[in-house]
Structure 1
Amino acid sequence: MKLTIVPARMGFVWVRQGIRTFWKQPLAMSGLFFLFMAWVSLVSMIPMIGNVIALVLLPAMTLGLMAATSVAEQGKFPMPGILLVAFRSGQAKVKDMLILGLLYAMGFIGVMGLSVLVDGGLFAGVYLMGAPINSEKVNNPAFQNAMWVAMGLYLPLSMMFWHAPALLHWHGVPPVKSLFFSLVASWRNFGAFTVYTLAWLAVFLVAGAAMLIVVSLVGDPGLAETIMMPIALLMAAMFFTSVYFTVRDCFGEMVPATEKPLP
């Protein structure tokens, strides 16, 4: 395993690779993303501990989407079982992945906990506990401040966990070391990740503007509610498809030749 420092323009390349690979297997990649969302939603519904369990499983499920992308890139159809690849690699790796997930859950809850100090828990209640959101909350200055604080604190957390599941699973890096290497890789390639983030933001804005134009031409407000959510989910699926390439180009090929093929 060797860290590669990539030029900033690679951010555009990652976005293009993600979109192109998604359209190689659009049915599979969108279906897997919807399944991923459904599993997270179902687990979150478990009383009291559901949200925590969902956070613990998130790194493993993200790894599953990366593995699916590696299969789709070859023009093959990734099957649903690939989402569970993290739990089919031996007890040691399963244990390490769960430790990684627990660290992520602790970090995320810590971020939300610090935001509580700003607005008394309004933002954390919406984002973590699923509390209803309304215009009164959104326009509350304390809520907005808490949102910005949470976003600022989540950035280093995201940098630590961006590469970590892949490093743990495909390179055998222990959980804590994987967080360190991921943070270093994200920082050393900060230019590429900045371009990557801005490029995806532009893609989402253009797609949203195009949808609004179509809805305004049709003149049916109800149509917006019908098509906005599915298209937004498809765009999110394309984004998650691109994540694999950001990791692969920073650390090299992610699927060792010795790994057993998945059904």
Structure 2
Amino acid sequence: MQAAILPITAGWAWIQDGFKLFRRQPMAMFFWSMATGLLITVSYMIPLLGQIALIACTPMLTFVTLSACRNIAQGRPMLLTMWLQPLKALETRKRLLALGLAYLLFCLAGGFLATLPFLGSLMSAIDDNGIINEHALLLAMRGPFITFGLLYLLISALFWHAPALIGWHGIKMSQALFFSMVACWRNKWPFLAYGASWAAIFFAAQMVGGFLASAGASAGVVQILLTPVNIVIAAVLYCSFYPAYVSVFGVNYPMSRPDSAS
């Protein structure tokens, strides 16, 4: 698999192309954004096991998203029965589940490696009587959070393109992780622009909420107004995954293969 090397402006172009995809079938992607948001909410209602299941299922959800975007790009209306078609093949489900378990293990390992050097400072926030000094604990948690954030960038690069490479091309997990890492490294500047742009978009949405609150709107009103906006932003984010993949691996993209046979 040969990954293209793109200019830094490609990062913003992915977002623009994602918005164009969203505009072609807004209700379909709005529905998917709400569905994934509901799954995330339910996962946090089930302590620990819910988050573990969500992380393990992330490659499957990503592949479903990419497949839906491919259908939209090819002019196919996304019907309700089409959403799970990409997971119809047993071999595809098994490969993506294995990828999800690997993703879970990498995240757990990253959390362990990020916490280990700061374990002493974290323990010092708890006195001999087991009372937690919340201020000291928050200060001690900065180091692990920053370290894990840096490690997660590497984990994300490994797994970013892997669901599509496994689901559409049927290659081995080790190869998919390698190709994904190489592709992300070759396009590190576009991905930096892509991440910075999304950070600015989400920050702007929060600023609008803060402005409404300062203007006298109640918290409930702000929540009602911002909820659909956040769902649309998330939907455009999901749509942008597809152009990011196609622009990098477009030459080898199996455009003629149906989702159910992937």
Common fold: TM-score over 0.5: yes
Q: Is the 8 A contact 1:160 1:182 kept in 2?
A: yes
What SS does the corresponding residue of 1:252 show, helix, strand or coil?
Answer: helix
How far the C-alpha of 1:99 sits from its partner, in A, is 1.2
Distance 1:138 1:163, change over 3 A: farther
Q: Which residue of 1 aligns with 2:211?
A: 213
Displacement, 1:206? 2.8
Structure 2: unaligned runs, 5 residues or longer? 123-133
Looking at structure 2, the residues matched to 204 and 198 of structure 1 have their Cα atoms a distance apart, in angstroms, of 10
Paired residue secondary structure (1:8): coil
Q: Tell me the distance in 2 between the aligned counterparts of 1:69 and 1:92.
A: 22
Q: How does 1:120-135 map to 2 (within 5 A)?
A: none
The match for 2:87 is: 87
Structure 2 distance, partners of 1:92, 1:185, is: 25
Rounded to whole Å, the distance in 2 between the matches of 1:191 and 1:56 is 28
Q: Which has the higher contact order (CA 8 A, sep 6+)?
A: 2
Partners of 2:86 and 2:260 within 8 A in 1: no
Query: What aligned pairs does 1:45-60 form with structure 2 within 5 A after superposition?
Result: 49-60=49-60
Other-structure match for 1:187: 185
Q: Is the deviation greater in 157-166 or in 44-53?
A: 44-53
- The answer for the alignment partner of 1:6 in structure 2 is 6
Determine if contact 1:64/1:82 at 8 Å carries over to the other structure: no
Q: 2:143 aligns to what?
A: 145
Q: % of aligned pairs identical?
A: 28
Moved more, 218-227 or 25-34: 218-227
Q: Is the partner of 1:258 in helix, strand or coil?
A: coil
> Partner of 1:128 in structure 2?
none
1:4 is displaced (CA, Å) by: 1.0
**2 CA distance for matches of 1:174 and 1:65?**
21
What is the deviation of 1:22? Answer: 1.4
Listed as ranges, the matches of 1:56-205 within 5 Å are: 56-89=56-89, 91-117=90-116, 136=134, 140-205=138-203
Q: Distance between the aligned counterparts of 1:137 and 1:86, measured in 2?
A: 48
Cα contact 2:18–2:237 (8 A) shared by 1: yes
Aligned residues of 1:118 and 1:142 also touching (Cα < 8 A) = no
AA partner of residue 110 (structure 1): A
Paired residue secondary structure (1:179) = helix
Matched residue type, 1:190: K
Counterpart residue number, 2:231: 233
State the one-letter code of the partner of 1:191: W
Report the count of equivalent residues: 249
Partner amino acid, structure 1, of 2:184: S
Deviation at 1:179, TM superposition (A): 0.4
For the 8 Å contact 2:21–2:72, the answer to whether it is kept is: yes
Q: What is the Cα deviation at residue 139 of structure 1?
A: 7.8
* Secondary structure of the corresponding residue to residue 84 of structure 2: helix
Conservation of the 8 A alpha-carbon contact between 1:61 and 1:83: no
Closer, same or farther in 2 for the Cα pair 1:25/1:223, shift >3 Å?
Answer: same
- The two structures have a TM-score, normalised by structure 1, of 0.82
In structure 2, distance between residues paired with 1:212 and 1:32: 27
2:60 and 2:93 in contact (8 A); partners too: no
Q: Provide, for residues 7-57 of structure 1, a one-character-per-residue CA deviation record: whole Å limited to 9, x for no partner.
A: 111111101111221122221101112212323444565576433222211
The CA deviation string for residues 160-189 of structure 1, in whole angstroms up to 9 with x for no partner, is: 000000011111211111001000000001
Q: What is the CA–CA distance in structure 1 between the aligned matches of 2:221 and 2:187, rounded to whole Å?
A: 41
Structure 1, unmatched stretches of 5+, are 124-135
Which segment is superposed worse, 50-59 or 226-235?
226-235
Distance of aligned partners of 1:206 and 1:174 in 2 relative to their CA distance in 1, 3 Å threshold: same
| Aligned residue number for residue 23 of structure 2 | 23
Q: Flag the 1:190–1:7 CA change in 2: closer, same or farther, 3 A.
A: same
The separation in 1 between residues aligned to 2:50 and 2:145, in whole angstroms, is 23
Q: What is the CA–CA distance in structure 1 between the aligned matches of 2:202 and 2:43, rounded to whole Å?
A: 28
C-alpha offsets along residues 40-92 of structure 1, whole Å, 9 cap, x if unaligned? 44456557643322221110111111111122234543234444344213x33
SS of the residue corresponding to residue 177 of structure 2 reads helix
